[in-house]
Structure 1
Amino acid sequence: MVQGTAMATVTHEQIFREVRAYLLGLFSCPPESVIQGYQNDAPLPKQAVVMSILFEHAFDFPASYYEPERDKAAVQQSVEVTMQIDFYGNQAGDRARKLSNLWKNQYTTARLTSCQPLYCKDPMQMTFINEQSRYEERWTVELALQYNPEFEHELIYLDMPVITLSKPKE
């Protein structure tokens, strides 16, 4: 019987925090320039780097691990996340290329702990016309990463008496 469930061991918030710290170190840019996407009524900072999770899919079936001594069970699954990183400003193309090169390298693997890099697409130029009808430089890189969230929940275990079967007498 399942009772309550707990939060995941790794969340999207943790992934955003970790990738943001990685990007800040990679580009030595001001902290306010690296932001999470989909923020309403907030102008982009100068030389912005915007992170957005596009989608995710499971690599495998959930695996269950039981801990009868704690009346708990845990369910873990390996998940691939696709994250889009948008670079704005005059350094956008160079930053996109640097991220693309280093994402596929042990440099990145050594710096991430709650998730790990898998692969990334090549940078794409996505210049757009802003609200003042001016072209703005924008480059985009799609990153794939893996994380393994685990959810713990309570589980009531039933102690069964040991039944010994004996051979019938003849």
Structure 2
Amino acid sequence: MPAAVNIDEADLRTALRGFLLSVVGESYEVVKGQDNRVAMPEGKFITMTGLNNDELNKPYSTWQDSGQPTGGLELTNQAKKWICQLDIYGENAGSTASTIFTLARSRYAVRQFAELTQGKGFSITPLYADQPHQTTMINGEKQYEERWTLDLHLQFNLVISTPMEFAAELYVKPASVDATFPPE
């Protein structure tokens, strides 16, 4: 059995997209950044580009014994910080970035992420957001496009499951070490 991971970047992006749509509504398209052979959307949109996956603690293990000699699991746990760059394009991108920045640092974001991940086997918690800044872009027609950028920092708890054998019973047979392995 290969190692199994409880959360991946697609899960993080899906939850983040749900949060962003709860903030900006359906007037914005929210897409993954850095997709090859995909044109930029028209109008107002937000791109999400994962930047880092930093560790917040050293990994530690817990175990799940299935009651069988095989079939148990070692669970390697680690708190991680995912940094995602958000690029907001279109009319009023600056005020939209400011709204996202403010709400990402509020109880609203904590509640939204809890709802979006409920029952999925993982949780995501917003930590903080960096101040939005203007990163104007010149498009293919040599026209300025309004674009604002901010980095959102989210915590998730990674759990990697790997197989582990357990013993239900142990038999101890005492032996005299000196008799079996006499000293020289």
What range is the shorter-chain TM-score in? 0.7 to 0.9
**Closer, same or farther in 2 for the Cα pair 1:107/1:163, shift >3 Å?**
farther
**Match of residue 161 from structure 1:** 171
Higher radius of gyration, 1 or 2: 2
Matched, 1:122 2:131: yes
Structure 2: distance between partners of 1:154 and 1:74:
9
Matched, 1:135 2:131: no
Structure 2: distance between partners of 1:156 and 1:52:
40
Encode CA deviations 1:46-77: one digit per residue, 9 max, x unaligned: 20110110111101111111123352111110
Q: Which runs of 4+ in 1 moved over 4 A?
A: 162-165
Contact 1:78 1:148 in 2 (8 A): yes
Structure 2: distance between partners of 1:72 and 1:127:
50
Q: Give the superposed CA RMSD.
A: 1.8
Structure 1 gap ranges (5+):
166-170
**Match of residue 50 from structure 1:** 47
Question: Kindly, what percent of the aligned residue pairs are identical?
Answer: 26
Choose the corresponding residue for 1:66, options 54, 63, 68.
Answer: 63
Shift of 1:30: 4.5
Number of residues of Structure 1 aligned to a counterpart in Structure 2: 161
**Match of residue 150 from structure 1:** 159
Higher deviation after alignment, 114-123 or 37-46:
37-46
Q: TM-score scaled by structure 1?
A: 0.87
Higher deviation after alignment, 84-93 or 152-161:
152-161
Shift of 1:160: 3.0
Choose the corresponding residue for 2:20, options 7, 19, 23.
Answer: 23
**Match of residue 37 from structure 1:** 33
Structure 2 gap ranges (5+):
115-122, 176-184
Matched, 1:12 2:9: yes
Shift of 1:79: 0.2
Higher deviation after alignment, 104-113 or 7-16:
7-16
Q: TM-score scaled by structure 2?
A: 0.81
**Closer, same or farther in 2 for the Cα pair 1:162/1:30, shift >3 Å?**
farther
